[in-house]
Amino acid sequence: MLLKITILPGDGIGPEVTDEAVRVLNNVARRFNHELSLDRKEVGGAALLSSNHPLPDDTIHSCLASGAVLLGAVGGPSFDKFPKHLRPESGLLRLRRELGAFANLRPAVCFPALEDCSPLRPEVVRGTDILIVRELLGGIYFGEPRVTQGASGNREALDTMRYTEPEIERIARMAFELARTRRRMVTSVDKANVLDCSRLWRDVVTGVAQDYADIKLGHMYVDSAAMLLVSRPADFDVLLTENMFGDILSDEAGGIVGSLGLLASASIGGTVGLYEPVHGSAPDIAGRGIANPLGAILSAAMLLRYSFKLEREAGSIEAAVSSVLAAGHRMRDLAKPGQTALTTAEMGAKVAEAVVPQMAIH
Ligand code: NAD
C-alpha cells in the first residue's frame, strides 16, 4: 500500500520527536511491505521565519493531498512578539479547521512497565486503557455570541454553548464504532442535570445507541466522571464527551498514566486525519536530544490505524513501545534516580528495532 503522509515537524522538540516517529514508520513499511511517500512541510514558527506565515498555502495543499498528516509541535517564546494571527498556534488552529476534523481521540494507556510512574497507586492505575472521544468543532469554544461588554467595574462576559443534533450524532456514531474495535463500552459524559445542551446530548446519544445493541452505553455527569477517572480509571473503555469537558478530562486522564511525553492524539472525521503528540514544543529542552519521542511514535501508530486502517501495523508499534519499556529503557522524564536515560535518537532506534526484531538497525 502507498502511504502518502505529510510530515510537519514544526518547532522546538517537534523536529526531534518527528524524526524518530518517521524512523519507526520506515521500519513498519519495510516489515509489512508498504511504500512510504513523505512530504515534509513547514508549519508554525519555522514557516513564519521562512515564508512569513505560520501556515503557508503550500503546506495546506500538501496536507489536503495526502492520506494523513503527522505533526510535531509548534510555538516558542521567540514567536510571542508576533501579532496573534501570525503566531505559530494560530497556524495550527487553522490547519485543524481546514482539515475539518470533528473528533479528537486521546488514548490514556497505562503500560505495565510504567505503573509506578503514575501519581496514583499501581493497583489503581493497573489495566487502564481509555480512549477519550472528544467533540472538537462545537460547544462553548465555538458558539456565538461571545462578548465582553460594559464599563470597567461593571463589565459582563458571555460565551455560548450550542450543539445541534447532527453534530452530536456524528461524534456519537464515531464513539460507538470505535468501541466495536475495543471492549464495547461507551461512557457518555455530560451535565444533563443542569445544561440543555447536555440534555440534548444525552437524548441523541441514547438514540444512536439503538443502532449498536452490542455496545454497553452508560451516562455519567462530568463531575462524577472526573472523580472516577482518578479512583477507578480502569473501569472506562471509550469515554465520549463534548468539547470543553473533553478538553479537561483528557488532560486529567493523561496525567494519571505518566508523562506528558508519552501521550498521543488523533484529530479525525474530516478530509484528512491529523496526528500529533499532546505535548508542546518544549523550548526548555529543545536541541538537547533528550525529548521523549514516544508520544510522537504512538501518534504514528494512531495514523496507521485510523487513516490507513492498518491495525496490525499500528499494533506492531504499540507492542514495540511496550516491550522497550518492559526491557527497562527510559527517557529522562520517566527515569527513576539511578536509571540511565536514553537520548531521543536512542529511544527511537530501540522502538524501530523492536518493530522489526530480525533486522539490525544502523
Ligand atoms: P510543553 O508541552 O511544550 O512543555 C511542558 C513541560 O513538559 C516542559 O517542562 C517540557 O520540557 C516537558 N515536555 C514536553 N514534551 C516533552 C517530551 N516529549 N519529553 C520530555 N519532556 C517534555 O508546554 P509549554 O511549555 O506550556 O509550551 C511550550 C510551547 O509549546 C508554547 O509556545 C506553547 O504555545 C506550545 N504548545 C504547542 C502545542 C502544539 O503544538 N500542539 C501544544 C502545547 C503547547
User: Taking 60 as the threshold, does the pLDDT of residue 353 lie above it?
Assistant: yes
Residue 128 shares a structural domain with residue 245: yes
Q: Are 180 and 311 in contact (CB under 8 A)?
A: no
Pocket of ligand 1 (CB under 6 A): 13, 17, 73-76, 89, 92, 260-261, 276, 279-285, 291-292, 295, 333
Kindly state the average pLDDT of the residues 204-221.
98
pLDDT for the residue 361: 47
Residue 251 shares a structural domain with residue 294: no
Could you report the per-residue pLDDT of 46-55, keeping only the tens digit for each?
A: 999 999 999 9
User: Taking 80 as the threshold, does the pLDDT of residue 252 lie above it?
Assistant: yes
Residue 79 shares a structural domain with residue 155: no
Residue 212 shares a structural domain with residue 235: yes
> Which residue's alpha carbon is nearest to atom 6 within ligand 1?
282
Report the length, in residues, of the chain.
362
Q: Please report the atom of ligand 1 found closest to the CA of residue 282.
A: 3
Which of 43, 260, 294, 347 has most ligand 1 atoms within 8 Å of its beta carbon, as the pocket-test mutant? 260
Q: Tell me the percentage of the chain whose pLDDT exceeds 70.
A: 99
> Which residue's alpha carbon is nearest to atom 25 within ligand 1?
282
CATH code of 54's domain:
3.40.718.10
pLDDT for the residue 358: 65
Residue where one domain finishes, among candidates 256, 271, 296: 256
In a domain, 208, yes or no: yes
Q: Please report the atom of ligand 1 found closest to the CA of residue 276.
A: 41
User: Taking 70 as the threshold, does the pLDDT of residue 115 lie above it?
Assistant: yes
Residue 142 shares a structural domain with residue 247: yes
Q: Please report the atom of ligand 1 found closest to the CA of residue 279.
A: 2
Give the CA count within 13 Å in the CB-facing half-sphere of 331.
26
Could you report the per-residue pLDDT of 116-152, keeping only the tens digit for each?
A: 999 999 999 999 999 999 999 999 998 999 999 999 9
In a domain, 171, yes or no: yes
User: Taking 70 as the threshold, does the pLDDT of residue 296 lie above it?
Assistant: yes
> Which residue's alpha carbon is nearest to atom 8 within ligand 1?
282
pLDDT for the residue 97: 86
Structural domains counted in the chain: 2
Residue where one domain finishes, among candidates 192, 226, 256: 256
Residue 229 shares a structural domain with residue 356: no
Could you report the per-residue pLDDT of 298-324, keeping only the tens digit for each?
A: 999 999 999 999 999 999 999 999 999
Residue 129 shares a structural domain with residue 201: yes
Residue 183 shares a structural domain with residue 263: no
User: Taking 90 as the threshold, does the pLDDT of residue 163 lie above it?
Assistant: yes
**Does residue 105 sit in helix, strand or coil?**
strand
Q: Are 271 and 100 in contact (CB under 8 A)?
A: yes
Residue 303 shares a structural domain with residue 356: yes
> Which residue's alpha carbon is nearest to atom 12 within ligand 1?
282
Domain of residue 291: give its range: 1-105+259-362
Nearest to 175 by CA among 84, 236, 99, 248: 236
In a domain, 280, yes or no: yes
Q: Are 229 and 253 in contact (CB under 8 A)?
A: yes
Nearest to 92 by CA among 270, 245, 275, 244: 275
Report how far ligand 1's centroid is from the alpha carbon of 284 (Å).
9
Kindly state the average pLDDT of the residues 88-105.
92
> Which residue's alpha carbon is nearest to atom 16 within ligand 1?
261
Q: Please report the atom of ligand 1 found closest to the CA of residue 79.
A: 32
How confident is the prediction for the chain on average, in pLDDT? 95
Q: What would the grid cell of residue 303 be? A: 495514523
Residue 71 shares a structural domain with residue 134: no
Residue 236 shares a structural domain with residue 291: no
Report how far ligand 1's centroid is from the alpha carbon of 267 (Å).
19
Kindly state the average pLDDT of the residues 16-27.
98
Residue where one domain finishes, among candidates 239, 256, 273: 256
Report how far ligand 1's centroid is from the alpha carbon of 273 (Å).
22
In a domain, 70, yes or no: yes
User: Taking 50 as the threshold, does the pLDDT of residue 224 lie above it?
Assistant: yes
In a domain, 173, yes or no: yes
Lowest mean pLDDT among 83-87, 107-111, 196-200, 272-276: 83-87
Kindly state the average pLDDT of the residues 193-222.
98
Kindly state the average pLDDT of the residues 195-215.
98
Residue 205 shares a structural domain with residue 263: no
Report how far ligand 1's centroid is from the alpha carbon of 91 (Å).
17
Could you report the per-residue pLDDT of 271-289, keeping only the tens digit for each?
A: 999 999 999 999 999 999 9
Could you report the per-residue pLDDT of 64-83, keeping only the tens digit for each?
A: 999 999 999 999 999 989 99
Distance of CA 160 to the CA centre of its chain: 26
pTM recorded for the entire structure: 0.94
Distance of CA 29 to the CA centre of its chain: 22
In a domain, 110, yes or no: no
> Which residue's alpha carbon is nearest to atom 43 within ligand 1?
280
Residues with a catalytic annotation lie at: 141, 191, 223, 247, 251
Report how far ligand 1's centroid is from the alpha carbon of 12 (Å).
9
Nearest to 297 by CA among 255, 245, 248, 354: 354
**Does residue 296 sit in helix, strand or coil?**
helix
Tell me the DSSP string of 154-216: S-EEEEE----HHHHHHHHHHHHHHHHTTTSEEEEEE-TTT-HHHHHHHHHHHHHHTT-TTSE
pLDDT for the residue 330: 95
pLDDT for the residue 359: 54
Helix H or strand E encompassing 32: helix 14-32
Residue 258 CB-density burial (10 A; 0-12 exposed, 13-18 middle, 19+ buried): buried
